[in-house]
A = this chain, B = another copy of it.
Amino acid sequence: MTARASEFDLIARIHQRAASRGDVVVGIGDDAAILSLPPGRQLVVAMDTLNVGVHFPEDTAPADIGWKSLAVNLSDLAAMAATPTWCTLSLSLPQPDEAWLDGFLDGFLALAASHEVALVGGDTTRGPLSVCVTVHGLVDPRGALLRSGARVGDDVWMTGTLGDAAAALRQWQSHRPIDPALRARLDRPTPRVEAGLALAGIAHACIDVSDGLLADLGHICRASRVGAQIDVDALPASDALIAAFDPPARRELQAAGGDDYELCFTAPKTARLAVQDAMHACEVIATRIGGITADAGKIALRDAAGAEWSPSHAGYVHFEG
Say yes or no: is A105 at the interface (Cβ < 8 Å to chain B): no
A25 CB contacts on chain B under 8 angstroms: 42, 141, 144
- Pick the interface stretch among A30-38, A108-116, A230-238, A275-283: A30-38
Q: Does the CB pair B130–A127 fall under 8 Å?
A: yes
Q: Is A243 an interface residue (CB 8 A)?
A: no
CB-CB under 8 A from A223, the residues of chain B are 29-30
A244 within 8 A of B: no
Q: Is the CB of B48 within 8 A of A90?
A: yes
Complex contact A144–B31 (CB within 8 A)? no
Q: Across the interface, do B54 and A44 meet the contact criterion of CB distance under 8 Å? A: no
Minimum Cβ distance to chain B for residue A21 (Å):
13
Q: Is A155 an interface residue (CB 8 A)?
A: no
Interface string of A128-161 (1 = CB under 8 A from B): 1010101011010100101110000000000000
CB distance from A162 to the nearest CB of B (A): 18
Does the CB pair B39–A34 fall under 8 Å? no
Which residues of B lie under 8 Å from residue A141 when comparing CB positions?
A: 25, 36
A88 contact set on B, CB distance < 8 A: 45, 47, 134
**In the bound complex, do residue A320 and residue B90 qualify as a contact, i.e. CB atoms below 8 Å apart?**
no
* 0/1 string, A86-128, CB within 8 A of B gives 1: 1011101000000000000000000000000000111101111
CB-based contact A46/B32 at 8 Å:
yes
A49 contacts B126, C-beta separation under 8 Å: no
A211 within 8 A of B: yes
Stretch at the interface among A181-189, A286-294, A301-309, A310-318: A310-318
Complex Cα distance A313/B5, Å?
13
Say yes or no for A79: interface residue by CB 8 A criterion: yes
**Contact, CB under 8 Å: B39 / A39:** yes
Question: Can you list 14 residue pairs at the A/B interface with Cβ under 8 Å?
Answer: A1-B313, A5-B315, A25-B42, A30-B223, A31-B76, A32-B77, A33-B45, A36-B42, A37-B37, A39-B39, A45-B88, A51-B125, A92-B130, A128-B128
